[in-house]
DNA sequence: CCACGGATGCGCT
DNA sequence: GCGCATCCGTGGA
């Protein structure tokens, strides 16, 4: 399998473009020499100063500061006692990012089952908090350069093709402002399951 | 000090 | 499938 880590230039673009193009890529976590990974099937874009729903919309704070830094960095934050992970996008003129919301599990599935205390594949990484639990993404991984393998958290591209899969869009989940923006992009779990089987 | 959120899981229909 | 209680870090007063 030919695969390589996505570079900073990939992330240094408009968050909506980056979000759409991250569908089908693989989020990889290295943990104690083991690989836990899954294909990104749901993601949301947050367009910084132009987007009332963005964490960065009201300016920098001690927790959202990674969004104001360079693209390709992680932003790990907590909400309702769960962790979520964003990837910083764009350039320094606008603090934008994308929220990884769901994965199709690929490797390290037994570890994910252990960390999640769930057995069904669909319960492992079907939400931003679940992803962080399954991949053991904690605040220690906040504000790190995820274009470097040493970070042990990065996104790779393989030869998976989205051919035959349509990327759907909808309003974002769980927000109270800017509900009209269709910045959530996803492909249904079942369709990915069928396609993986046919490879 | 308090109100609340980029969520989750459970306990019902 | 849907509503709701719980969650606790964060930020504004």
Question: The pTM is what?
Answer: 0.96
Element (H, E) at A10: helix A8-11
C1'-nearest nucleotide to the CA of A56: B6
E-strand stretches of chain A: 4-5, 26-31, 34-46, 74-79, 82-89, 96-107, 153-157, 168-170, 184-186
**Strand B bases, protein C-beta under 7 A:** 5-9
pLDDT in tens, A61-105: 999 999 999 999 999 999 999 999 999 999 999 999 999 999 999
Distance A80 CA to C4 C1' (A): 14
Q: Is the CB of A62 under 7 A from strand C?
A: yes
C1'-nearest nucleotide to the CA of A84: B6
**Strand C bases, protein C-beta under 7 A:** 6-12
User: What's the longest Cα–Cα distance across chain A?
Assistant: 47
Number of other residues whose CB lies within 10 A of the CB of residue A125: 32
Whether A55 contacts A73, CB under 8 Å? no
pLDDT in tens, A33-61: 999 999 999 999 999 999 999 999 999 99
SS3 A38: strand
Confidence of residue A3 (pLDDT cuts 50, 70, 90): confident
Q: Is the CB of A78 under 7 A from strand C?
A: yes
Distance A161 CA to B13 C1' (A): 41
Nearest to A159 by CA among A24, A27, A29, A42: A24
* Cα separation, A124 vs A181, whole angstroms: 28
């Amino acid at each position: 399998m030919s695969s390589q880590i996505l570079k900073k230039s990939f992330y240094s673009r408009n968050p909506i473009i980056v979000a759409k193009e991250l569908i089908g890529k693989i989020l990889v976590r290295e943990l104690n020499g083991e690989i836990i990974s899954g294909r990104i099937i749901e993601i949301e874009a947050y367009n910084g100063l132009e987007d009332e729903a963005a964490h960065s919309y009201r300016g920098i704070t001690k927790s959202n500061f990674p969004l104001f830094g360079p693209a390709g960095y992680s932003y790990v934050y907590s909400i309702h006692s769960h962790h979520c992970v964003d990837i910083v996008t764009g350039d320094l003129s606008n603090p934008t990012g994308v929220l990884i919301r769901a994965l199709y599990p690929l490797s390290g599935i037994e570890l994910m089952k252990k960390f999640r205390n769930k057995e069904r594949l669909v319960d492992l990484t079907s939400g931003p908090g679940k992803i962080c639990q399954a991949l053991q993404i904690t605040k220690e991984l906040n504000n790190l350069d995820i274009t470097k393998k040493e970070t042990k958290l990065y996104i790779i591209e393989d030869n998976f093709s989205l051919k035959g899969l349509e990327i759907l869009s909808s309003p974002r989940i769980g927000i109270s402002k800017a509900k009209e923006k269709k910045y959530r992009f996803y492909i249904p779990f079942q369709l990915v399951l069928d396609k993986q089987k046919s490879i």
